[in-house]
Structure 1
Amino acid sequence: MEYINYFLIGLIIFFIIQRFLPTKGVKQITTAGLKNELQDKNKQYIDVRTPAEYKANNIRGFKNIPLHQLAAKTNQLSKEKEVVVVCQCGMRSSKASKLLKKQGFKHVTNVKGGMNAWS
């Protein structure tokens, strides 16, 4: 019985850690690195924050597709081109990156720190 408790606790810890680890195959980039890549027209730039957040402050060239709408709007994106994803702090863009990888996007980049790190 005691082993079952340890197993369950271990399983719970495993799933918690999994949520915070970067998704396999998703490139991580800093906002400083992003500044060097913004001129690349072969990339798709997506901001997954709410329309109000986007309107208040955004990075030129990023298209607003809120996270809750992304799954329904992936047909607006090319699976062959790299997708660069940003949000406010990096959590929603991490979820969006995971969703895009599951949908078959080959090149996905998450902006670490999101708009909080952008200056």
Structure 2
Amino acid sequence: MFGLFNRIPSISTSELAGKLGKNLILLDVRTPGEYRGGHIASAKNVPLNKIADYRQKEAQPVYVICQSGMRSKQAARILKQKGYQVINVTGGMNRWTGPTRGGK
């Protein structure tokens, strides 16, 4: 039973694509260089090494993405411990087939 409380919900990149544009908070936890190389337009870059400092005013779910899903899982655990409702995007940008934007 104990494991159920620590489980981070996750969605696929195609499920994420269906939610974009709905005032969704999406954090890209890759390095600034990776982020500049191509990211989802609405994603905010908060690198994994800075995730513990993340602050958000409104209480709404936070979606977390990285390159493959490993760093976002770590980031999701940190955010969950801070009391955020977090959803990890499995497969990360490797599985993302939607449009991306380069630069900041």
Aligned twin of 2:86: 108
Q: Which residue of 2 aligns with 1:94?
A: 73
Q: Deviations over 1:9-28 (max 9, x none)?
A: xxxxxxxxxxxx99834221
**Contact in 2 for aligned 1:48/1:64 (Cα 8 Å):** yes
Asked if the contact 1:46–1:63 (Cα under 8 Å) also holds between the matched residues in 2, the reply is yes
TM-score (norm 1): 0.74
Question: Residue 70 of structure 1 corresponds to which residue in structure 2?
Answer: 51
Q: Secondary structure at the match of 1:84?
A: strand
Higher relative contact order (CA 8 A, sep 6+): 2
RMSD of aligned Cα (Å): 1.9
Q: Alpha-carbon deviations, 1:65-91, whole Å to 9, x = none?
A: 00001112x22x236111000000000
Partners of 2:4 and 2:40 lie apart in 1 by 23
Q: What stretches of structure 1 of length at least 5 have no aligned partner?
A: 1-20
- Distance in 2, matches of 1:79 and 1:25, equals 23
Give aligned pairs, total: 95
Instruction: Determine if contact 1:23/1:98 at 8 Å carries over to the other structure.
Output: no
Deviating beyond 3 angstroms after TM superposition, the runs of 4 or more aligned structure 1 residues are none
TM-score by length of 2: 0.84
